Amino acid sequence: MFKILAIIILVGLGVYLFKRAQRLAEEEQQQALNESLQKRREEYQAVAKAEAEAKAKAEADKDVIEGEVIASEATLASESEVQQAKSSEPLAFESSQTAEPEPEPEPEPEPEPEPEPEPEPEPEPEPEPEPEPEPEPEPEPDLGWATPALQQGMANLAEQSELAGKHQAMLVVIAECYKQRKLKEYLDFGAHLSDEYSLLFADYYKAEEANGNLKAVKGIGFMQLATLLADHHEFDRAIGFCHQAIGYELSDGTKTGFEGRLARIEKAKEKAAKSQ
């Protein structure tokens, strides 16, 4: 009976020690991840501060140079006035002396009138330049391979004229490519949209900021495009997209945010480089 109790106690003690060790390991791992994220946040803030200081220094140097140029121009103008005053003094002295009047010269004979020149022939009118041909519109991409959802999304994107509508239609297209990213055509097409979305989002963000509606701006597009670019092995562009999202103070909907996503993409980049 005592042996059975001892075995039960030992088993319970072993389970307790195993769970305690597992909990300590998770806490250490979470602490290491938080320290890494804090370090990356500090590095990003230091880079932004250095850029701001460099810009302020450049503007201060520009103001100093402009002040020196204005002072130099004023000095040159003052010296020029002094020189003109000195050169006019002898003339004033000579004019004060009374010179004897010279005898008037005899009138010269009037010259004979010159013959009128023949009128020059009028120049021939230059031929008007031919109008340059208008550039041909870029052909629309062939989407025969695409799902009806992607084809409809591209059609809606082409029809939109307002900025908010264009942004929403672009999100629909990106989401469909993200959903089907295991297929090469969707992965290639989605990664190709990254530059166009970056420009569109910059205008959209400015408009929402002017309207005081930044709370409605989400980071879903940056999250999905960063994943598409990373899966496409364009790690540097994916990292750049994460930095843009951090600069806009966007969230990707996870606990670690775009900082954690950035760390994971950098690890994937290192792993891919080692495997080559």
The torsion angle over the Cα atoms of residues 153, 234, 218 and 39, rounded to 10 degrees, is 170
Q: Which contacts of 120-127 are long-range, i.e. CB under 8 A and separated by 24 or more positions?
A: none
What is the Cα Rg of the chain in Å? 40
- Average pLDDT of the residues of the chain: 80
Instruction: Give me the mean pLDDT over the 108-122 stretch.
Output: 61
CB 228 within 8 A of CB 178: yes
Q: Show me where the domains of the chain are located.
A: 48-76, 148-275
Element (H, E) at 197: helix 194-210
Least-confidence region, from 105-119, 145-159, 185-199, 254-268: 105-119
Q: What is the DSSP string of 227-248?
A: HHHHHTT-HHHHHHHHHHHHHT
Q: What is the pLDDT of residues 54-93, one digit of tens each?
A: 777 777 777 656 666 566 666 655 666 656 655 554 444 4
End-to-end CA distance of the chain: 62
Which whole number is the average pLDDT over 1-6? 80
Q: Which residue has tokens 């994971």?
A: 264
Is the distance from CB of 225 to CB of 197 less than 8 angstroms? yes
Specify the pLDDT at position 34.
Answer: 75
Higher pLDDT, 81 or 219: 219
d(CA 247, CA 41): 11
Other Cβ atoms within 10 Å of 275 Cβ, number: 6
The pLDDT value given to residue 236:
95
pLDDT of residue 99: 46
Q: Is the pLDDT of residue 15 over 80?
A: yes
C-alpha–C-alpha distance, residues 255 and 94, integer Å: 94
98 band by pLDDT with thresholds 50, 70 and 90: very low
**In which band, very low, low, confident or very high, does the pLDDT at 94 lie, cut at 50, 70 and 90?**
very low
Question: What is residue 97's predicted lDDT score, i.e. its pLDDT?
Answer: 46
| pTM of the entire predicted model | 0.49
Residue 206 has pLDDT above 50, yes or no: yes
Give the integer Cα–Cα distance in Å for 151 and 144.
8
What is the structure's pLDDT at 37? Answer: 72
Instruction: Round to whole Å and give the CA distance between 26 and 150.
Output: 42
Mean pLDDT within 173-189? 94
Q: Are 187 and 232 in contact (CB under 8 A)?
A: yes
Q: Confirm if 254 and 261 have CB atoms less than 8 A apart.
A: yes
